[in-house]
Amino acid sequence: MAENDGQLIDRKSHIQNLKLQKVLIGIGGGIAAYKVCEVVSALAKSGVEVRVILTDAACEFITPLTLATLSRHPAYTDKDFWQPTHGRPLHIELGEWADVFAIAPLTANTLAKLAYGFADNLLTNTVLASTCPILLAPAMNTDMWEQVAVQRNWQQVLTDKRYHSVGPDAGILACDRIGSGRMAEPSQILPHIQSLLQTNGKRDLVGKQVLISAGGTREHLDPVRFIGNPSTGKMGLAVAQAALHRGASVTLVRAPATWSTPMGVRDIPVTSAAEMREAMLQCFPNADLIIMSAAVADVKPANYAAEKLPKKLLPTSLPLSSVTDIVAELGKLKQPHQLLIGFAAQTGDIVTPALEKLHSKKLDVIVANPIDKSDSGFGSDNNQAIFINAQGRQLEIARCSKLEMAHRLFDFVQTGG
């Protein structure tokens, strides 16, 4: 486990099920190059084949030996590019080899070369010799990033559907400036690479508004005690990442969670079922796809104490009142152009109760997932499920990462099951 921005991130959770796939990493000349070591290491440890290209400027910040050790394969520089070979040219071999090409950090200089199709080093020649999706992670000083020429180049590059972007973020930069230009963290780059490997870069949700609920709501008895459930919201996070990576505009209504909402996602934090209901109803009219992955409370304490109750005053029995069924309410409001997807976390027989929920709440698709299986369900980085649509088609999904499951759910929905 590695710590980042105050949260613990299991790197392996981002890179499940990527074995036998090939990722090419291009590293530009910037101080953020050190962060890429974590990306390379995590991918290689998972069994993904990794190759690394360093520009001459990148070699001033990090050595080829470091990347070769982390990737379990020699790292390439311009010295390799200009050496005679006994086979095919190196940039052709690498370009055809890669399933996904990530460039991080992307410097202003390399960005300009990409914008105008220049090819004067191994990295840029390999870009032109490749046809796979390319993920760009810019990193530079705020004033550099905000230059008209840099922004023009950035927008021009993104008109090419091959290019996908992550970041830049805002924060404290290496120059002590506080502003935009900070390279995305490995915790953002890794899931985007996984998405590109899963989808081959397709953007089938461009123009769609996706509304997602995530996490477990809390129904308070007093300011410090509540009725809750074990949901961590990881499945909802994965759905948000998958939708974002496929081009959607994403709104995430999330109950308390330890993770950070991805850049580019509209974040609406809530605590109780009532707050979630209010947020969902407000956002619902503009949504095309609504995915209710949250574990919403069914009941709440009938009485709430505004101040912490002394232990001696805690009730020996707790009167409860019902909570509005958000999914059922949205099902009644759903318009013909909208698709409503629900989740049913169950033990034992997961299909029968899921079918009942699917029809009674007017859902288009339901995800029935077991919570009594090892390494699956609440709190796990993995999940397994049976997708069921309103026409009765079922698709069983074996245990996989939650991000992979999210992509397979969108595939199921997009193809009509």
Position 349: which residue type?
D
State the residue for tokens 């049976």. 386
Distance CA 287, CA 208 (A): 8
Distance CA 365, CA 362 (A): 9
CA distances for 308 relative to 271, 316, 383, angstroms = 18, 16, 37
pLDDT at 85: 65
pLDDT at 105: 96
pLDDT at 417: 59
3-state DSSP helix/strand/coil % of the chain, to nearest 5 = 35, 25, 40
Beta strands at 382-389 and 394-401: parallel, antiparallel or unpaired: antiparallel
Buried b (16+ CB within 10 A) or exposed e, 280-302: beebbeebbbbbbbbbbbeebbe
Boundaries of every domain in the chain: 2-199, 209-414
Phi, psi of 208 (to 5 degrees): -95, 145
Whether 377 contacts 371, CB under 8 Å: yes
Averaged pLDDT score across all residues of the chain: 89
User: Is 343 marked as a binding-site residue?
Assistant: yes
Distance CA 261, CA 265 (A): 7
User: Is 202 marked as a binding-site residue?
Assistant: no
pTM for the complete prediction?
A: 0.88
User: Is 298 marked as a binding-site residue?
Assistant: yes
The CATH label, of 3.30.70.20, 3.40.50.1950, 3.40.228.10, 3.20.20.80, for the domain at 2-199 is 3.40.50.1950
- DSSP secondary structure string for all residues of 267-304: EEE--SHHHHHHHHHHHGGG-SEEEE-SB--SEEESS-
Active site residue 400: no
Distance CA 153, CA 108 (A): 9
Which overall architecture, per CATH, does domain 209-414 show? 3-Layer(aba) Sandwich (3.40)
Is residue 67 within a helix (H) or strand (E), and if so which, with residue range?
A: helix 64-71
262 burial type by CB count under 10 A (0-12 exposed, 13-18 middle, 19+ buried):
buried
CA distances for 343 relative to 98, 353, 356, 371, angstroms = 36, 11, 12, 12
Distance CA 179, CA 168 (A): 10
Positions in the chain short of pLDDT 50 = 1-19
Residue among 240, 202, 237 nearest 216 (CA): 237
pLDDT at 191: 95
CATH topology of 2-199 equal to that of 209-414?
A: yes
Catalytic-role residue among 37, 59, 175, 400: 175
Distance CA 236, CA 262 (A): 12
